[in-house]
Amino acid sequence: MKEISDITVQLLQAKIEWHKPKFNLEHFNHLIGQSGSADLIVLPEMWNTGFTMKADLYHSHANEALRLMKEWSLKYAKAIVGSVIVKEDDKIYNRLYFVAEGSVLAHYDKRHLFAFSGEDRSFTAGDSKLVVSYKGWRFCLNICYDLRFPVWARNYEDYDVLIYSANWPDARIDAWQSLLKARAIENQSYVLGCNCYGQDAWRNAYGGHSYLYAYDGSLISEEKRNEQLFTCRLEIEKLKEFRTKFPFLAERDAIKSDWKTNYFTDSK
């Protein structure tokens, strides 16, 4: 079996201008150009438009956003994870792409739609979990509101890292921080929570609060409440040692649900 190496991950806590795709594309292009080397970078939810229910007006911008993600993955030699609005077969999805080496390796459609803001009326919910194997690491992809549903995130697949791409407002930021930490503890996995910065079209504030948690629930990133890039090294042997010392996952409840899990394994 090929030895798995430690990896460097980044969270791009960037400013988003709602309903201004041109600005966001240019802004993220600049920021990623300054991000330095890493194996993977996570972008906020709907990074090119902001979290909007005007899906019919903005799904047409997905192709340009995806083209840039592919370009970045080649130019900067890192995997890119980010969500955009996608229309497919007359249905609209909040879709999180995992892009590497100029290609889409896999995508995840948001399972839990935020009815409080009307997302369930504008979008179609996904029906599958996604675990992506990349450079030997196993990543479980999620989007924002999925964080509130621990059964969905339960580590039945023995993944190593939970990713949450989000537009989570300051009004409920305590829940964001508490639930990210809880997901790390209960699943004995690294958790990457990437949030945006700025103000939406309805004047809700987004102060950032992106976090990286270790498998034991300890915070491994600093609190930063502005536009920032978080960079962290994830250590595979420490993760394995912790799970061996505290084999709590072996006692998890049996899965009882009708959902399915999609798997993608890279060729390396």
From the list 15, 45, 78, 119, the catalytic residue is 45
Residue with tokens 């080496």: 101
Cβ burial of 262 (10 Å; 0-12, 13-18, 19+) is middle
Q: Is 45 a catalytic residue?
A: yes
Total residues found in the chain within this entry: 268
**DSSP-assigned states of every residue in 198-236:** EE-TT--EEE---EEE-TTS-B-S----SSEEEEEEE-H
In the chain, what are the domains? 7-265 (3.60.110.10)
pLDDT in tens, 206-263: 999 999 999 999 999 987 788 999 999 999 999 999 999 999 999 988 775 666 788 8
pLDDT for 74 equals: 98
The whole-number average pLDDT for the span 26-47 is 98
**pLDDT surpasses 60 at 46:** yes
The dihedral through the CA atoms of 30, 14, 108, 164 has a sign that is positive
pLDDT for 236 equals: 98
pLDDT for 253 equals: 84
pLDDT for 230 equals: 95
* pTM tops 0.85: yes
From the list 119, 140, 144, 181, the catalytic residue is 144
- Assign residue 144 a region (left: φ > 0; alpha: ψ between -120 and 50; beta: otherwise): left
What does DSSP assign to residue 15? B
3-class DSSP state for residue 90?
A: coil
Q: Are strands 103-109 and 91-100 parallel, antiparallel or unpaired?
A: antiparallel
From the list 15, 70, 78, 110, the catalytic residue is 110
**pLDDT surpasses 70 at 184:** yes
pLDDT for 256 equals: 57
Phi, psi of 100 (to 5 degrees): -150, 140
User: Taking all residues of the chain, what is their mean pLDDT, rounded to a whole number?
Assistant: 95
pLDDT for 227 equals: 93
Q: In which band, very low, low, confident or very high, does the pLDDT at 267 lie, cut at 50, 70 and 90?
A: low
Q: Is 232 a catalytic residue?
A: no
Q: Which two tokens mark 65? A: 């956003």
Q: Is 144 a catalytic residue?
A: yes
The whole-number average pLDDT for the span 138-158 is 97
Q: What angle do CA 69, 71, 73 make, to 5 degrees?
A: 70
Portion of the chain with pLDDT greater than 90, in percent: 90
pLDDT in tens, 63-88: 999 999 999 999 999 999 999 999 99
pLDDT for 268 equals: 56
